[in-house]
């Protein structure tokens, strides 16, 4: 956290440790403490000038949007509050390492008796920064190396190169990020990437080489993303025993798609929330902007969390999706939905529910999954705020289904098919929250409703990831 510094001269006598000012620096006025507080809070002031010290390559015009509200301050307390808010906005730009605020009385010929000058003392980030870290995905881990050029053109632009090597996926990409001046939450980005992944549940290897552009913007309490993506996909066999159904889909395809995502997130934590709700809705339309893949894809995610007595949390979640092919060409194995595993329907092996051929899972065109969870503190370590707060006892009930649909049968037939042969499971375990990065689960699972071809994990199952049912 930074500090807002204030220098006081007549006619603004200010005094008190809560302002970060020492008594030696100010003129002591012999009045009652209550009178001093009234003078401090109610004294009308005018912010006359705002200065920036330490600017190098940053353009001042983009900073004006972030500090404009400071000029609307009416009294000294208001000045301090708005200065702190402006400091937070400047740090949010991602171009400064440090931002300090100094408030002083106005100087010069045009100085008013109640005028104030505000100086933001900044330290810019270096022109090039590097990073090394590890990431946890859905039951996979990866090492990530990054190279970043912040504030590339002086208006909070960012150019990033990232290389990732993981247990199932290797990727590298180049991205350019540009926020809208005055509205940092609105941003535009360009991405160039190559991703190679292995999917052992389908005996499939996929290499994607693509380019995408997206625009992020908020509307009321929702966040939206509009995206166009063009990707050249190369599908191949992962083993000699790969089924013929997977071999048939091997080769090269080109997908060009438009997509839209909407998110409403009021949770207090994305990893292990205690309250709040999440709603995600995604739509993707492929084929109308080129390529040889044509489909309409819809999916959603809903989560509700409620804190109960004894610091326990009741959580309910629901997922669903539908993939509609356009034209006579069937959908690709790379575009279908997959279900099962420690991050979705527990008690089943990773993505091992639904249509399969010779042990290779082909995915489905429609699915749903739901779960009810009860998280409680550890019975032998209930103290809050300590190391034990990272652990939770976990009781769960999960259910779901995944299948292919005949789209000529109508909605009622589709619902009936999704309601048949429901897989479900229940169990208990321990959850460990790894900061705000990921979470680990160790559960004892009892799978039920198992169908022919499903792979189960009856007993202890370990899961790691950021998105759990």
Query: DSSP string covering 364-392, please?
Result: BSEEEEEEEEEEE--TT---SSSGGGGEE
- Residue 32, pLDDT above cutoff 50: no
d(CA 143, CA 163): 8
Q: What is the pLDDT of residue 75?
A: 85
d(CA 141, CA 66): 38
10-24, 31-45, 220-234: least confident range: 10-24
Q: What pLDDT, in 10s, does the model give residues 263-312?
A: 999 999 888 899 999 999 999 999 888 888 999 999 999 999 999 988 89
- Residue 142, pLDDT above cutoff 60: yes
The torsion of the CA quartet 377, 379, 385, 388, rounded to 10 degrees, works out to -100
Q: What is the pLDDT of residue 410?
A: 72
d(CA 323, CA 402): 12
Q: What pLDDT, in 10s, does the model give residues 46-64?
A: 888 899 999 989 998 899 8
Non-local CB neighbours of 372 within 8 Å, separated by 6+ positions: 314, 315, 316, 396, 397
The better pLDDT of the pair 222, 1 is held by 222
Q: What is the pLDDT of residue 21?
A: 42
Q: What pLDDT, in 10s, does the model give residues 348-376?
A: 999 999 999 998 999 999 999 999 999 99
Give percent of the chain with pLDDT exceeding 70: 89
The better pLDDT of the pair 412, 325 is held by 325
Q: What is the pLDDT of residue 1?
A: 46
Q: What is the pLDDT of residue 31?
A: 45
Task: Classify strands 391-403 and 366-376 as parallel, antiparallel or unpaired.
Answer: antiparallel
Q: What pLDDT, in 10s, does the model give residues 377-427?
A: 887 665 566 667 788 999 999 999 998 887 667 777 778 888 888 999 999
Q: Please state, rounded to an integer, the average pLDDT across all residues of the chain.
A: 86
What is the residue whose two structure tokens read 């603004």? 12
- pLDDT-derived band at 38, boundaries 50, 70, 90: very low
**Burial grade of 386 (CB within 10 A; 0-12, 13-18, 19 or more):** exposed
Q: What is the pLDDT of residue 310?
A: 84
- pLDDT-derived band at 3, boundaries 50, 70, 90: low
Query: Would you say 225 and 260 are in contact if contact means Cβ atoms under 8 Å apart?
Result: yes
Q: What is the pLDDT of residue 29?
A: 46
Query: Mean per-residue pLDDT for 141-157?
Result: 90
What is the residue whose two structure tokens read 């995915």? 363
113-117, 225-229, 239-243, 412-416: least confident range: 412-416
Q: What pLDDT, in 10s, does the model give residues 183-212?
A: 889 999 999 999 999 999 999 999 999 999
The better pLDDT of the pair 299, 436 is held by 299
Give percent of the chain with pLDDT exceeding 90: 55
Q: DSSP secondary structure string, 16-48?
A: -GGGT--GGGS----S-HHHHHHHHHH-B-EEE
d(CA 208, CA 255): 10
133-137, 342-346, 428-432: least confident range: 133-137
């Amino acid at each position: 956290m930074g500090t807002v510094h204030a220098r006081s001269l007549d006619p603004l006598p200010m005094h008190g440790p809560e302002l970060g000012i020492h008594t030696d620096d100010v003129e002591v006025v012999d009045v009652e403490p209550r009178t001093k507080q009234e003078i401090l809070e109610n004294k009308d002031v005018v912010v006359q000038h705002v200065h920036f010290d330490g600017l190098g390559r940053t353009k001042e015009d983009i900073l004006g949007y972030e500090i404009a509200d400071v000029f609307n301050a009416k009294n000294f307390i208001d000045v301090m509050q708005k200065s702190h808010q402006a400091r937070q906005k400047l740090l949010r730009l991602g171009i400064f390492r440090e931002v300090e605020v100094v408030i002083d009385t106005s100087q010069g010929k045009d100085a008013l008796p109640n005028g104030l000058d505000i100086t933001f003392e900044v330290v810019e980030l270096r022109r090039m920064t590097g990073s090394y870290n590890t990431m946890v995905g859905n039951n996979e881990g990866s090492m990530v190396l990054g190279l970043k050029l912040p504030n590339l053109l002086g208006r909070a632009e960012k150019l990033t190169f990232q290389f990732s090597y993981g247990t199932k996926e290797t990727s590298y990409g180049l991205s350019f990020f540009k926020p809208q001046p005055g509205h940092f939450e609105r941003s535009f980005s360009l991405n160039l990437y190559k991703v190679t992944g292995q999917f052992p549940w389908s005996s499939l290897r996929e290499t994607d080489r693509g380019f995408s552009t997206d625009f992020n913007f908020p509307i009321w309490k929702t966040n939206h993303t509009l995206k166009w993506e063009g990707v050249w996909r190369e599908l191949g066999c992962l083993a000699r025993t790969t089924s013929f159904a997977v071999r048939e889909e091997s080769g090269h395809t080109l997908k060009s798609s438009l997509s839209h995502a909407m998110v409403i997130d009021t949770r207090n934590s994305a990893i292990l929330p205690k309250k709040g709700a999440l709603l995600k809705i995604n739509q993707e339309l492929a084929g109308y902007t080129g390529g040889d893949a044509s489909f309409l894809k819809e999916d959603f995610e809903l989560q509700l969390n409620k804190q109960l007595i004894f610091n326990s949390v009741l959580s309910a979640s629901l997922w669903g999706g539908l993939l509609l092919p356009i034209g006579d060409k069937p959908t690709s194995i790379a575009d279908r939905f997959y279900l099962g595993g420690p991050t979705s329907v527990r008690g089943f092996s990773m993505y091992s529910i639904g249509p399969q051929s010779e042990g290779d899972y082909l995915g489905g065109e429609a699915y749903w999954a739901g779960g009810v969870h009860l998280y409680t503190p550890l019975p032998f370590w209930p103290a809050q705020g300590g190391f034990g707060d990272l652990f939770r006892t976990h009781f769960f009930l999960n259910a779901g289904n995944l299948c292919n649909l005949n789209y000529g049968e109508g909605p009622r037939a589709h619902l009936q098919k999704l309601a048949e042969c429901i897989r479900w499971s229940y169990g208990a375990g321990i959850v460990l929250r790894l900061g705000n990065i990921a979470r680990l689960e160790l559960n004892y699972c009892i799978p039920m409703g198992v169908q022919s071809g499903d792979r189960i994990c009856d007993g202890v199952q370990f899961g790691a990831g950021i998105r759990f049912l």
